[in-house]
Every structure is written in structure tokens, then in C-alpha cells.
Amino acid sequence: DTEVTQTPKHLVMGMTNKKSLKCEQHMGHRAMYWYKQKAKKPPELMFVYSYEKLSINESVPSRFSPECPNSSLLNLHLHALQPEDSALYLCASSPKDSYNSPLHFGNGTRLTVT
């Protein structure tokens, strides 16, 4: 069992839909991350929140909008996505935003854009 919980597990959405991915952790971690993973590829960093502030945005298109309402929650709001955005979206957390902190991953949301 993972200590980072992601919902939903699966999501199918049309290109005109608005949906949100949710991530929750109760380990007291102060850094939270969104990664995108295409099939047979490594995870690619999208966003990093450190102490609830956005610290890294890897030039992600504006149709992806992250939000960190509090230290335990991380959302990813989706709007007007393209079929190539279909992927596994992984949330992760770490005790702090430092170089030697390992990441704790959720099991991901598998997104399909039709």
C-alpha cells in the first residue's frame, strides 16, 4: 500500500472537458510533485510545490494547472487536453525539497483523452 493516495485511478475525458486529479499524503511531507509518464518511458517532472508554493514549472502547457490547497493536498486541473496528453500521472511527495530526499509515489491516475 502506498502512503500517497491518488484519485481517480482511471479517467477518460474528452478534449472539451474540465477535470481534476487529486493527490493526498499525511506523512507531513513539505514537497509535492506531479510527474507525467508515457508508456515505456520514465516519469517526466511537471511541477514541484515546496511548502505549498510552486517552485518548479517545467514549461508545462497552460491546459495543466496545479494547485496546492494545503500541505497534504495537491490537485492538477485539466482543461482542453489533447489526445497526446494521455498518460499515467504520478503524484509524489518528499520530506522536504532537498537533493537527498527520496520521493514517495502514489499509484497514479491513468488518463485517456478522447
Partner 1 sequence: AQSVTQLGSHVSVSEGALVLLRCNYSSSVPPYLFWYVQYPNQGLQLLLKYTSAATLVKGINGFEAEFKKSETSFHLTKPSAHMSDAAEYFCAVSNNDMRFGAGTRLTVKP
Residue 41 interacts with partner 1 (CB under 8 A)? yes
DSSP reduced 3-state for 85: helix
The residue (of 47 and 64) whose beta carbon lies closer to partner 1 is 47
Site string for partner 1, 87-106 (x = CB under 8 A): ---x-x------xxxxxxxx
Residue 4 interacts with partner 1 (CB under 8 A)? yes
Q: Catalogue the E-assigned strands of 1-114.
A: 4-7, 10-13, 18-25, 31-37, 44-50, 53-57, 64-70, 73-79, 87-94, 104-105, 109-113
Instruction: For residues 44 and 107, give the distance between their C-alpha atoms in angstroms, rounded to a whole number.
Output: 15
Residue 45 interacts with partner 1 (CB under 8 A)? yes
Site residues (vs partner 1, CB under 8 A): 2, 4, 33, 40-43, 45, 48, 56, 90, 92, 99-108, 110
